[in-house]
């Protein structure tokens, strides 16, 4: 369902990047559409990761690596965002109000902007760097 042929909008295979409308909401639910008012989730399969210093080529859909890490800003634990900062409460309120995701965005930004839980922050747990070689 895409041109050039290859990736599925969600999942696909163990190398191609998948894309789906967040929470399957809006007109872009599970299909390859240009825009979605709630944004998109991307699936980055391990087997599609480019080696350090390499970027996907123009024919990546047919062979080769399909994604690369250009910069790691911060990695947080899911539990910190969902449980400690009660993120789903903000998402639910935004969905019910149907006026955008202002609360959710603010909470997510706070989680990455600070390490202080009292300010909505979450600790950086580390993660891969751009110069890290694949094992």
What pLDDT digit, counting tens, does each position of 43-77 carry? 888 889 999 888 999 888 788 899 998 888 899 99
What pLDDT digit, counting tens, does each position of 7-27 carry? 455 556 788 887 776 665 555
Region 99-123: mean pLDDT is: 93
H helices, E strands: number in the chain: 3, 2
For residues 41 and 20, the answer to whether their CB atoms sit within 8 Å is yes
CA distance readout (Å), 52 to 22, 45, 85, 131, 132: 29, 16, 34, 6, 6
Predicted local confidence at residue 28, as pLDDT: 46
The whole-model pTM stands at 0.61
Predicted local confidence at residue 111, as pLDDT: 96
Region 83-97: mean pLDDT is: 92
């Amino acid at each position: 369902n895409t041109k050039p042929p290859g990736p599925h909008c969600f999942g696909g295979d163990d190398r191609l990047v998948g894309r789906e409308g967040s929470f399957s909401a809006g007109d872009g639910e599970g299909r390859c559409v240009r825009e979605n008012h709630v944004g998109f989730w991307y699936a980055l399969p391990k087997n599609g990761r480019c080696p350090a210093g390499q970027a996907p080529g123009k024919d990546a859909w047919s062979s080769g690596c399909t994604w690369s890490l250009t910069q790691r800003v911060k990695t947080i634990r899911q539990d910190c965002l969902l449980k400690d900062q009660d993120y789903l409460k903000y998402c639910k309120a935004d969905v019910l109000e149907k006026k955008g995701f202002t609360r959710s965005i603010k909470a997510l930004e706070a989680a990455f902007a600070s390490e202080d839980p009292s300010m909505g922050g979450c600790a950086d747990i580390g993660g891969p760097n751009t110069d890290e070689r694949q094992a």
